[in-house]
Chains A and B, each alone.
Chain A
Amino acid sequence: MSGTTATPARDSWRTAAAWRSLFRDRPLIPLLALLAVLVVIIALVRPGMVGPEWAGVVLRTAVPLAILAGCQTLTMLTGGIDLSVGAVASMSGFVVATLVSGPGTPAGIVVALVAAALAGLVTGIGVGVFRVHPLIMTLGMSLVVLGLANVWQLQMVQTGTGVPDELRWLGSGTFLGIIPHSLLVFLPLAAVILLALRRTGYGRMLYAIGDNPVAARLSGARAWQVVVALYVISALMAAVAGFLLAGLTNIAAVTLADSYVLPSVAAAVIGGTSIMGGRGGYGGTIVGALILTVLTSLLSALGYPEAVRQVLFGSIIVAVAAAYTRVTSES
C-alpha cells in the first residue's frame, strides 16, 4: 500500500523537477507554447482571422520591435541597457527622409548610419571607459540625439521630407502579399546575432562581462573595448530598425520610435534575458517580440481599448519575469 502511494508521489516530484529544468534549460519551449496559446485564442474568438495574411502582418509589425529588442538583449547581457535606441532609430529614419530629395537614398542611409555609429561610440566610451551607469549614459545620449534631430528638422524645413520608396518597399512590402520584405534584413541579422552569441569569442565575452565583470577582467578580457564596440553595434541596429519603421509607417518624425523603447526592454525580459547580465539569448527575445505583437493583435481583435491592452501588457511582463526568477533561483 505504502509502495503504491510513494511511487506516484515520486513521479509527480520527478515531473515537477523535469518541468523546472525544462523551463531553465530550454526557455524557448514554454515561450513558444505561450505564443501558440495566444494564437489559438485569437483563432477561437475571431474565426477566420488567423491565416497567412494575418501572420504576414504580425511578422511585419514584429520585425522592428525584434531588432530594437536585440539592442536591449545584447546590452543587457553585459548588465547594461540601451534607452537611446528610440532616439537613434527615429533620428536615422528621419535623416534618410530629409536627404531623399537632395543627395539620394543611399547617401542618406550612409549618413544616418554614421550618425548612429557616432552616438553609439560616445555612449560606449561613457559606459566602458568612464564607467557611467548605462541607464544614465543612454538617457543623456537620447536627449542629445533628440535635440540634434530637432535642430536638423528646423534646418530641413524648406526641403521637405518623404520616406523613400526603397524604405517603403523594405518596411511594408510583401512577397505574394504574405511574406514581408523586412525579413530580408531581419533573417541575416538574427542569424548573425544568434551565431555570434554562441560561437564567437566576442559573444562569449558579453556573457562573461555581464556574469562577473571582475573575473572577466582578471582573465584578460578588455572589457572597455568590448563595451564600446557593443554600444556602436546597438546604435547601428537601432538605425536599421529606424529605417524599417519609417518604411512600415510611412512617417518620418523625430519621435517615431519613442514608444518602442519600453516594449523593446519588455520583449527582451519576456524572452528570458536577465537585466542583471550574463543570462539570456536572442532566440527568446525574438519570441518575446512576437508574443507582444500577437498579444496586441489579440486585444485589438477582442475590441478591448488601449487601456486594457496596457494593463495586460504590464501584468504579463511581471508574471513571466516572476516565473523566470522562480525557476532560476531554485537551481
Chain B
Amino acid sequence: MTAAAGAVDGPRTRPAEMVMAWARRNTWTIGLLGFLIALLAFTRIIQPSYGVPGIQGLASAVLPLALATVAQAIVVISGGIDLSIGSMMALTSVVAASQMEGQGEAFGIAVVVGVLLLGLVLGAVNGGLVVVTRVPDIVVTLAMSFVWAGCALLVLKTPGGDSVDWLRQLVLGSLLVPFIPKAAVVLVVIVAVIWIPLRRSRLGLSMYAIGSNQLAAFRSGVAVGRTKILAYMFTGLFAALAGLSLTASTGVGTPVPGPYTLQSVAAVVLGGVSLAGGRGGVFGPIVAVAILRLVRTDMTFLNVDTNLATVAEGIILIGVVMAGSLIEMRRRRA
C-alpha cells in the first residue's frame, strides 16, 4: 500500500517530470499555441506594418467568439452541447443595451450584474429541461435557441440601446504597455477568475466525470442531474459575458443571433475538446478562435478573396478533425 502510494507520489516531486507530464497532457494546446505564434510571425513577414494596432484589433474582434467558445467548451466537456449560445448572447446583449440607454455609469454596474444573473437563469432553464425531459441536449438547446431569439426580439425589435462608457473602454485600446490589448486582459481575467477555480473544484471534476462516462460517474456517487444543470448555468454565464462583450464592442444590442453558435462548436472541436465529452479544456479553443481569425486577416493581406477564407475555414475544420480521428484510429489499431 505504501509502496503504491510512493510510486504515485514519486514523479510529482520531480519538477522536470512534472513539466513533461503537463506537456504530454496538453500536447494539442501547446501545438496550437506554437501554430498561432508561427502565424503571427508569418503575418508580420507578409505585412511588415502589422503590429500593435493589428494585435489589438485581433483581440477585440475575437473577444465575443472566444467567450462563446468557452461557454460551449464547458458544456461539451460535460457531455452535452448548447446550440442556443448565439441566441442567449443576443438576448443578454439586447437586455444590457436597452437597460443601459440613458443611464449613468454607476447604474451600468447594476445592469452588468443583472445580465450575468440572467445568463445563469437562461442556462439553468436549458439544463433543467435537458435533465427533466431527458430529451437529447442537441434537441432541447436547438428548440431553446428559437425561444431565446424570440425573447430577444421582444426586448428590442431593431438594433438599438446604448452601452455605458466604462464598459466600452473595457475592451478598447491597451493596458499599461501598448503590446497588451485590454480585450485580451479581460478575457484572461474572466477565465482565470471563473474557469480555473471551477476546474480545480469538486464540481469541475464531476463535470469531466459525467462527460466521459455518465453511468460510471453516477455509480461513483456523482449527482449527475445537478452537475449537468450547473454546467449549463456556467455556459449561460459565459454566453452572457459574450453578449456583454458584443454590447461593449458595438455600442448597441442586436436582437438577431450572430453566427456564434456553430462557430463556437467548430472552435471547440479544433481546440481539442472531444464532442463525446470528458476531454479538453478552454485554452485550446480560445487559441483556435485566434488562429481562425488570423487566417482570415492573412488572406486579406495576401489579397485572396475573403470568400475563399470561408472555404479555408471549412477545410481547416474538416482537415484537422479528420487528422485527429486518423491518429485515434491508428492508436487503437496499434
Contact = CB atoms under 8 A, between A and B. Distances in A.
20 contacts: A126-B318, A130-B325, A132-B321, A140-B317, A141-B318, A143-B313, A143-B317, A150-B310, A262-B145, A262-B146, A266-B143, A305-B157, A310-B146, A311-B147, A312-B150, A313-B150, A317-B143, A318-B143, A318-B144, A326-B133
Interface in B256-310: 262, 265-266, 269, 275, 305, 307-310
A306 interface: yes
Contacts of B143: 266, 313-315, 317-318, 321
Contacts of A126: 318, 322
B98 to A, nearest CB: 14
A154 interface: yes
Contacts of B138: 81, 135, 275
A147 B317 contact: no
Given A143-B317, A154-B305, A132 B322 contact: yes
Interface string B77-106: 000010000000000000000000000000
A321 B142 CA distance: 12
Q: Which of A310, A325, A329 has the most CB of B within 10 A?
A: A310
A151 B309 CA distance: 10
Interface of B: 81, 129, 133-136, 138-140, 142-154, 157, 262, 265-266, 269, 275, 305, 307-315, 317-318, 321-322, 325-326, 329
A137 to B, nearest CB: 6
Contacts of A309: 150
Contacts of B149: 310
Nearest to A83: B262
Given A126-B318, A313-B146, 4 more contacts: A135-B81, A139-B262, A313-B147, A322-B134
Interface string A254-283: 000000001001100100001110000000
B275 A147 contact: no
Interface in A202-243: none
Given A132-B318, A151-B307, A262-B142, A307 B151 contact: yes
Interface residues of A, number: 48
B153 A306 contact: yes
Interface string A123-135: 0001000111101
Contacts of B315: 140, 144
A148 interface: yes
Interface in A280-331: 305-315, 317-318, 321-322, 324-326, 329
A314 B318 CA distance: 30
B150 A136 contact: no
